[in-house]
Amino acid sequence: MAQVLEFRLPDLGEGLTEAEIVRWLVEVGDVVAVDQPVVEVETAKAMVDVPCPYAGVVTARFGEEGSELPVGSPLITVVVGAPASDPDSDAGTEGSGNVLVGYGTTEAPARRRRVRREQQVPVPVNGRSAAPEVVEGPVPVISPLVRRLARENGLDLRELTGSGPDGLILRADVEYALRAAASPGRPAPALAPETTVASPATASTTPAGTRVPLKGVRGAVADKLSRSRSEIPDATCWVDADATELMRARAAMNGAGGPKISLLALLARICTAALARFPELNSTVDTAAREIVRLDAVHLGFAAQTERGLVVPVVKDAHARDAESLSAEFARLTEAARTGTLTPAELTGGTFTLNNYGVFGVDGSTPIINHPEAAMLGVGRIIPKPWVHEGELAVRQVVQLSLTFDHRVCDGGTAGGFLRYVADCVEQPAVLLRTL
């Protein structure tokens, strides 16, 4: 007997309470298999394909692309137990029975294919016609945000030539095409969900301008940083260090063959060694219990700027990795951040953050602690500067190191000791070898 089952937006974990629909992957009338992704959503932490735990025919969708839904809201309804138009569609009466956070509903789904009915008629969704999107041939684009930007502005991605590797279409390519398509005297289509504020002539108290919603990644960053500043009594100390020997050591390591070692990996290795000496900084504060919790493992976060905004991927068990392993993991997580495929698990659970803002061409900063962590090390650009070396003035590779720390977990002596040890390892990498 046929049965109509309602599939609701599952709990995506880590305190997330809502998600934005980026793209529907099924239409009303489609036959879906167990664990087949049915919708692509964007949370404050990652892009997630949400799989359906039922097999059957989709009879309704809830929510338009671009709208936000709270956890527990209906996503789709599926008729199960009815004869399927395709005997090989895997539609039946059984479901997987559960939906795991941010992933598929089983560890290895046997198949994830979409079966479409022939001569499908567009079905209204929330009062609007939802004609299926037709794409002929492969389009060299990875980012769901790029696809969405093009779709919202009526731009055919097949007509673009990407400037990325192997012709990959980047957001900059789409924005350039939209600006070029704008006729003289008329502004280009909006490149972000913004709202124009009325001028003073129509709104006496609000000046003219645009409003950008604080949601998604931008909203999550705003909430976390505001909470950090309101809850954590932070302090910052900094020191200039001669990084010449560290750069020479890296060049020697990479010149010996084998996988390349990144500078970030060497800095991370120095951080984990420093945290072993000063464990107070690898901790968190339990305000309810009025206790400092010193953590056993170092899960090292690192700041990464992406098209979606600032994200902090986490290298789990960084204290147990060598420089080669750290380099590989940094590269993997950075690529996932660039393409928007980081999972919630890869963006949470950090215990200490390394922020290399030197890539932006700046020397120093006063980092804001990544709540609920207790400290963050900031690294500026490494540039040639006059420096007294062995009693003589010389041109050396100099870097500014900044440590922002929670004054509840330690005093300035501990923070200064940590930062001085990091600087010593940067100036004389052999210092690090003595601690291994």
Reply yes or no on whether 407 is catalytic.
yes
Cα–Cα distance between 434 and 255 in angstroms, integer? 23
Architecture of domain 3-130: Beta Barrel (2.40)
pLDDT at 142: 53
pLDDT at 131: 38
User: Of 88, 322, 389, 407, which is the active-site residue?
Assistant: 407
pLDDT at 96: 53
Architecture of domain 216-433: 2-Layer Sandwich (3.30)
Reply yes or no on whether 411 is catalytic.
yes
Domain spanning 144-197: which superfamily? E3-binding domain (4.10.320.10)
Q: Where are the beta strands (DSSP E) in 148-214?
A: 195-197, 209-211
Query: Which stretches of the chain score pLDDT less than 70?
Result: 1, 12-16, 44-45, 82-145, 164-166, 182-206, 217, 433-436
Q: Which of 282, 309, 311 is nearest to 298 (CA)?
A: 282
Distance of CA 327 to the CA centre of its chain: 18
State the burial class of residue 126 (Cβ atoms within 10 Å of its Cβ: 0-12, 13-18, 19+).
Answer: exposed
User: Of 286, 317, 322, 411, which is the active-site residue?
Assistant: 411
Computed over every residue of the chain, the mean pLDDT equals 80
pLDDT at 83: 56
In the chain, where are the structural domains located? Answer: 3-130, 144-197, 216-433
Q: Any bridge partners for residue 78, and if so which?
A: 5, 58
